[in-house]
Chain A
Amino acid sequence: AQSVAQPEDQVNVAEGNPLTVKCTYSVSGNPYLFWYVQYPNRGLQFLLKYITGDNLVKGSYGFEAEFNKSQTSFHLKKPSALVSDSALYFCAVRGGQTGANNLFFGTGTRLTVIP
């Protein structure tokens, strides 16, 4: 069965500092991993995905994520946080089995960037 864990409900970081939002996963077969961001009263916005290839994935708005197979992790990172990055972040996994098209989401991590 597929599952995602986001161990931190809340992450606070000062503007200009690097940020990390953690995610670990469990999946049968090859993992397909995604990060989404949710702003108030708006839908989820796609940030980046890992399908195969380089373990470091670059995405929208300066975000990147590192896939670590041995640690079954896919942490989201940004070198320098902006106040506008404050939002709710979701990690998601799609299973590797044929026909497993839906996403399994974590419970989300609320990121607050302090000016």
Chain B
Amino acid sequence: GAGVSQSPRYKVAKRGQDVALRCDPISGHVSLFWYQQALGQGPEFLTYFQNEAQLDKSGLPSDRFFAERPEGSVSTLKIQRTQQEDSAVYLCASSLGGGTYYEQYFGPGTRLTVT
């Protein structure tokens, strides 16, 4: 079946540009997560949605990062005025429910390079 998809797969941005990264979760999955994975590191949590509600954004590194999921399905992570330290792979994950029992299914990620 269809998994989590993300677009674009690769994005090169000049420092100061705004970028938007898209995530299409598995159909029917209530929960959606964004993670940031720097080179050689494990993913780090950015933000979490349950349906359209953003319940946790404690991991967003600055107010330049903004995420939305207006209809409880597709989500967009926006980064304003990109900086070099924003270069990373951005992973989206979805899970069937909001409880701790549910495993998360990850998309292939968007590799962002800021030059």
Contacts and interface: CB of A to CB of B under 8 A. Distances in A.
Contacts of B55: 99, 101
With most chain A CB atoms within 10 A of its CB, the pick from B3, B41, B43, B109 is B43
Interface residues on A, range: 20 to 34
With most chain A CB atoms within 10 A of its CB, the pick from B42, B98, B109 is B42
B-side interface mostly: loop
B65 interface: no
Nearest to B105: A46
A32 B44 CA distance: 17
Contacts of A32: 100-101
B104 interface: yes
B101 A51 contact: yes
A40 to B, nearest CB: 11
B106 A34 contact: no
Interface of B: 3-4, 31, 33, 35, 40-45, 48, 55-56, 59, 91, 93, 98-101, 103-109
